[in-house]
């Protein structure tokens, strides 16, 4: 983001950074997006924005989209071509549009720059990533009281173990299962008789690895992860 844009209201900015877009998808809150518009924002800053006062048992956070699913939604919009994004490619340092097919390789890496997109093995691909504000507001429109076709905020007690979930290990597991056992949509898969069985297995894996009681909370994100990798591993002719 250009220095003269810092501090401006998000409505006036033609492009938004990755933390700004994630904040908008999660909260639909102009103030939170503006607080995350500084070039000094880190993943720690972002996490603090989500945090409740731990001493307040009545504390709650209003989400439109669960934080664990926000990047998956953003990624899906990049894949289907509805979201325009630009970044400085690491190899040639040129600013270029991020192609639809590239989105399948990206993961959210909280150990690195909040402004970068990385491959699953941790290699940075694009730095200084910016998104079209117009696209963002079209895909995730602001809430307006009395507009019944807009999403209703979900009140959740504290972000919990999900947070901004890193799916890279689960993606590697999905790839391994598909390459080892085949496409569950066909008769050739020996381990999974259907996609639902693969979803169930990934839910159980999340419950075990993340220590959560109900992996079904991840169901929509699980389906998105599996289907994107299926399309890549077993493309339709």
pLDDT by residue (tens digit) across 173-198?
888 888 888 888 887 767 888 889 99
Tell me the per-residue pLDDT of 136-171, one tens digit each, with 9 for 90 and over.
999 888 865 433 244 444 444 333 334 456 677 788
Q: How far apart are CA 61 and CA 42, in angstroms?
A: 20
Report which of 159, 153, 137 is spatially closest to residue 13, judged by C-alpha positions.
Answer: 137
Report which of 103, 216, 226, 106 is spatially closest to residue 162, judged by C-alpha positions.
Answer: 216
Q: Mean per-residue pLDDT for 104-123?
A: 70
Instruction: Say yes or no to pLDDT of 59 above 50.
Output: no
Report which of 233, 220, 218 is spatially closest to residue 175, judged by C-alpha positions.
Answer: 233
Instruction: Say yes or no to pLDDT of 131 above 90.
Output: yes
DSSP result, 166-212: --HHHHHHHHHHHHHH--TTSTT-SS-SSHHHHHHHHHHHHHHHHT-
Domain locations in the chain as residue ranges: 1-165, 167-233
Q: From start to end of 3-111, where are the E strands? A: 15-17, 61-63, 85-89, 95-97, 106-107
Q: How far apart are CA 196 and CA 199, in angstroms?
A: 5
Look at residue 6 in the predicted model and tell me its pLDDT. Answer: 46
Q: How far apart are CA 178 and CA 200, in angstroms?
A: 15
For tokens 């071509």, name the residue: 81
Q: How far apart are CA 129 and CA 87, in angstroms?
A: 4
Tell me the per-residue pLDDT of 64-112, one tens digit each, with 9 for 90 and over.
666 667 888 888 888 888 999 998 888 888 899 988 888 877 877 666 6
Q: How far apart are CA 15 and CA 135, in angstroms?
A: 9
């Amino acid at each position: 983001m250009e220095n003269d844009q810092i501090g401006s209201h998000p409505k006036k900015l033609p492009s938004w950074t990755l933390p700004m877009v994630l904040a908008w998808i999660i909260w639909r809150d102009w103030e939170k997006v503006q607080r995350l518009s500084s070039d000094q924002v880190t993943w720690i800053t972002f996490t603090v924005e989500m945090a409740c006062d731990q001493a307040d048992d009545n504390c709650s956070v209003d989400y439109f989209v669960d934080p664990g699913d926000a990047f998956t939604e953003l990624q899906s919009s990049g894949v289907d071509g509805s979201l325009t994004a630009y970044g400085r490619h690491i190899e040639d340092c040129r600013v270029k549009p991020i192609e639809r097919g590239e989105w399948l390789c990206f993961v959210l890496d909280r150990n690195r720059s909040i402004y970068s997109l990385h491959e699953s093995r941790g290699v940075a691909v694009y730095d200084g990533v910016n998104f079209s504000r117009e696209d963002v507001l079209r895909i995730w429109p602001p809430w307006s009281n009395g507009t019944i076709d807009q999403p209703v905020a979900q009140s959740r007690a504290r972000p919990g173990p999900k947070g901004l979930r890193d799916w890279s290990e689960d993606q590697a597991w999905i790839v391994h299962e598909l390459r080892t056992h085949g496409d569950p949509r066909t008769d050739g898969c020996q381990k999974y008789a259907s996609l639902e069985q693969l979803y169930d297995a990934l839910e159980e894996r999340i419950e075990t690895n993340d220590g959560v009681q109900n992996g079904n909370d991840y169901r929509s994100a699980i389906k998105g992860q599996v289907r994107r990798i299926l399309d890549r591993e077993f493309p339709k002719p």
